[in-house]
């Protein structure tokens, strides 16, 4: 009797998704899909609003990567008013560095959330551990000192966001052509040196190294599982600078293959010329792909694993992260790494990389300078803008058009989770085949393995479909006639 397994909703991700797995009469996997089953439509309701509201409103899609949405929108607005990258206008140094600082602060605290709160418990306790143990509150009971450090690290990142954007969440600092404030000496010194209740920058770097060492230890003990779990192919994409290294704020979109050969490199303003999006009736999330290669061969992976695959190296000013990256690159002999659980390795490297980049910026006197905004006038109005940044989860694009009155007439958001849709589905299929296929009895741990494959991408289904999520889990096992034969609820 064939069966259909349903995980609905998938837990410990942002947003609401479900997984269905179809088994044949021999319990072999026939099909496996990640469905995204929510829809809100920020792109629609922003229409008619004044253009300058877009970076403020659209960042509210997400409570985790809001700075990325804010900056992406701000870059699009720079284009619209005529002083953006589409006009080849360089930003004022203070403005660009303030934007970058806010972005790295967010990347640090976002990655810390995903890595330590959502992923490390499973690394320490195992995918088969009881659900009440394999979460951060289980970690609180097992290793309170580690959690104390993690809380301190995330708090430091949040205080950095607050210093740059004015608020811990959904702050506003970027305006068309620049930013509305620089970084005060007091704020800088507080982040550098810490104070009672706030760690210092050096502490943050030390704690970030702790996170990387956690992965090394986990990898050492579970090498076979970590290296074979959802080892699935995809091209890798991220923004790169002129030095061929990842640039989280601005650069060319580079796509590389397994051998790290450049398949395509483009100005992101030309994104629509190169990418198309497929749709499926079973999901609200689209499937982007490179037109030239078609839907299967042209699917890209974005995010931490893609970035460490694409980047040639890191700057000498981030020596600890650079050394960690070299170790990562050596592990696959310089080839692109397709191992889904190595995304967590890459994420841990990027936590350290962010902390070191923040150190460079906090010591840069440009952050205290007074020239913050490029001047522009009505004659420079282009009415259209595209912004792209490397959000924590990967390449994020905002594209707006506005009429002569300045009201938004069109908005398109392509978020990282959408870019990863195909490779996430490949991961689900791979794990379903390896962990569930051939088993007459499906355990909770097996079903959790499916979720682990999804969580590695830290998907934000709320961003991808622009909705708020719910998190309880129901796993239903249905036979070929749709009759419920088993169910897991947690």
Partner 1 sequence: MNSSVDEMARLLADYNNSDSLIYGIGNVGRQDDGLGWAFIDWLESESICPKAELMRHYQLHLEDADMISYKKQVLFVDASKVPELETFQLENIKPKMDFSFTSHAISVESILATCQTCFDYMPKVQFLTIKGYEWNLQLGLTTKAKQNLKSATDYFEQYINSGVTNE
Which of 297, 469, 476, 479 is close enough to bind partner 1 by CB under 8 A? 469
Cα–Cα distance, 357 to 402 (Å, whole number): 35
Q: Is 137 in the site for partner 1 (CB under 8 A)?
A: yes
Residues between 264 and 293 that touch partner 1 (CB under 8 A): none
Q: Is 335 in the site for partner 1 (CB under 8 A)?
A: no
Which of 29, 72, 108, 118 is close enough to bind partner 1 by CB under 8 A? 118
Q: Which stretch binds partner 1 (CB under 8 A): 11-19, 229-237, 360-368, 423-431?
A: 11-19
CB of 117 to partner 1, least distance (A): 6
- In the stretch 357-396, what mask flags binding to partner 1 with x, by CB under 8 A? ----------------------------------------
- In the stretch 208-247, what mask flags binding to partner 1 with x, by CB under 8 A? ----------------------------------------
Cα–Cα distance, 474 to 161 (Å, whole number): 36
Q: Is 250 in the site for partner 1 (CB under 8 A)?
A: no
Q: Is 12 in the site for partner 1 (CB under 8 A)?
A: yes
# binding residues, partner 1 (CB under 8 A): 34
Residues between 162 and 191 that touch partner 1 (CB under 8 A): 168-169
Q: Is 128 in the site for partner 1 (CB under 8 A)?
A: no
Residues between 28 and 67 that touch partner 1 (CB under 8 A): 40, 60, 63-64
Q: Based on CB atoms, which residue is closest to partner 1, 135 or 337?
A: 135
Q: Is 474 in the site for partner 1 (CB under 8 A)?
A: no
Q: Taking a C-beta distance cutoff of 8 angstroms, is the pair 474, 487 a contact? A: yes
| Three-class SS of the chain | CCEEEEEECCCCCECCEEEEEEECCCCCEEEEEEEECCCCCHHHHCCCCEHHHHHHHHHHHCCCCHHHHHHHHHHHHHHHHCCCHHHCCCCCHHHHHHHHHHHHHHHHHHHHHHHHHHHHHHHHHCCCCCCCCCCHHHHHHHCHHHHHHHHHHHHHHHHHHHHHHCCCCCCCCEECCEECCCCCHHHHHHHHHCECCECCHHHHHHHHHHHHHHHHHHHHHCHHHHHHCCECCCEEEEEECCCCCECCCCCEEEEECCCCCEEEEECHHHHHHHEEEEEECCEEEEEEEECCCHHHHCCEECCHHHHHHHCCCCCCCCHHHHHHHHHHHHHCCCCCCCECCHHHHHHHHHHHHHHHHHHHHHCCHHHHCCCCECCCCHHHCCCEEEEEEEECCEEEEEEEEECCCCEEEEEEEECHHHHCHHHHHHHHHHHHHHHHCCCCCCCHHHHHHHHHHHHCCCCEHHHHHCCCCCCCCEEEEEECCCCEEEEEEC
Structure tokens at 352: 């350290």
Q: Is 158 in the site for partner 1 (CB under 8 A)?
A: yes
Q: Taking a C-beta distance cutoff of 8 angstroms, is the pair 346, 307 a contact? A: yes
Q: Based on CB atoms, which residue is closest to partner 1, 30 or 169?
A: 169
Q: Regarding beta strands 474-479 and 394-402, do their DSSP bridges make them parallel or antiparallel, or are they unpaired? A: unpaired
Q: Is 132 in the site for partner 1 (CB under 8 A)?
A: yes
CB of 305 to partner 1, least distance (A): 20
Q: Is 69 in the site for partner 1 (CB under 8 A)?
A: no
Q: Based on CB atoms, which residue is closest to partner 1, 168 or 483?
A: 168
Q: Is 141 in the site for partner 1 (CB under 8 A)?
A: yes
Q: Is 131 in the site for partner 1 (CB under 8 A)?
A: yes
Which of 129, 136, 225, 360 is close enough to bind partner 1 by CB under 8 A? 136
Q: Is 122 in the site for partner 1 (CB under 8 A)?
A: no
Q: Which stretch binds partner 1 (CB under 8 A): 72-80, 135-143, 245-253, 348-356?
A: 135-143
Give the gyration radius of the chain's Cα atoms: 22
Q: Based on CB atoms, which residue is closest to partner 1, 138 or 303?
A: 138
CB of 420 to partner 1, least distance (A): 18
Q: Is 155 in the site for partner 1 (CB under 8 A)?
A: yes
Q: Which stretch binds partner 1 (CB under 8 A): 134-142, 265-273, 311-319, 359-367?
A: 134-142
Q: Contact residues for partner 1 (CB under 8 A)? A: 11-12, 14, 40, 60, 63-64, 113-114, 117-118, 131-132, 135-138, 140-141, 144-145, 147-148, 151-152, 154-155, 158, 168-169, 197, 468-469, 471
């Amino acid at each position: 009797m064939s069966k259909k397994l349903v995980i609905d909703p998938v837990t410990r991700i942002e947003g609401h998704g479900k997984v269905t797995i179809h088994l044949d009469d021999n319990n072999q996997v026939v099909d496996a899909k990640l469905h995204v089953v929510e829809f809100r439509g920020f792109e629609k309701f922003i229409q008619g609003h004044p253009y300058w509201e877009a970076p403020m409103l659209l960042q509210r899609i997400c409570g985790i990567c809001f700075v990325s949405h804010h900056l992406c929108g701000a870059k699009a607005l720079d284009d619209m008013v005529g002083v953006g990258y589409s006009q080849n206008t360089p930003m004022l140094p203070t403005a660009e560095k303030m934007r970058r600082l806010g972005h790295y602060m967010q990347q640090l605290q976002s990655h810390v959330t995903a890595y330590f709160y959502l992923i490390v418990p499973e690394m320490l306790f195992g995918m088969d551990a009881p659900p009440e143990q394999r979460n951060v509150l289980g970690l609180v009971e097992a290793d309170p000192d580690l959690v104390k450090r993690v809380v301190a690290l995330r708090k430091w990142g949040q205080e950095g966001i607050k210093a740059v954007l004015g608020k811990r969440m959904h702050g506003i600092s970027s305006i068309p052509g620049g930013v509305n404030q620089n970084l005060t000496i007091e704020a800088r010194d507080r982040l550098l040196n810490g104070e009672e209740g706030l760690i210092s920058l050096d502490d943050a770097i030390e704690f970030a190294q702790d996170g990387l060492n956690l992965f090394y230890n986990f990898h050492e003990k579970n090498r076979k599982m970590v290296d074979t779990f959802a080892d699935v192919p995809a091209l890798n994409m991220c923004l790169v600078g002129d030095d061929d290294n990842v640039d989280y704020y601005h650069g060319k979109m580079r796509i590389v293959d397994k051998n790290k050969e450049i398949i395509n490199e483009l100005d992101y303003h030309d994104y629509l010329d190169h990418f198309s999006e497929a749709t499926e009736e079973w999901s609200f999330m689209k499937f982007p792909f490179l037109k030239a290669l078609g839907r299967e061969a042209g699917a890209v992976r974005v995010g931490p694993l893609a970035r460490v695959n694409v980047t040639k190296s890191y700057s000498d000013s981030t020596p600890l992260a650079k050394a960690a990256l070299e170790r990562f690159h050596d592990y696959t002999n310089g080839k692109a790494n397709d191992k889904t659980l190595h995304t967590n390795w890459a994420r841990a490297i990027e936590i350290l990389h962010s902390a070191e980049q923040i150190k460079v910026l906090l010591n840069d006197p440009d952050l205290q300078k007074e020239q913050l905004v490029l001047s522009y006038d009505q004659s420079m109005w282009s009415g259209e803008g595209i912004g792209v940044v490397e959000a924590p989860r990967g390449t994020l694009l905002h594209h707006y058009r506005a009429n002569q009155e300045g009201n938004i007439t069109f908005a398109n958001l392509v978020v990282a989770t959408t870019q990863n849709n195909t490779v996430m589905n490949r991961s689900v299929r791979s794990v379903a085949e390896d962990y569930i296929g051939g088993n007459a009895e499906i355990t909770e741990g097996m079903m959790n393995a499916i979720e682990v494959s999804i969580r590695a991408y830290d998907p934000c289904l709320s961003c991808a479909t622009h909705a708020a999520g719910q998190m309880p889990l129901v796993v239903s096992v249905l036979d070929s006639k749709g009759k419920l034969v088993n169910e897991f609820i947690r």
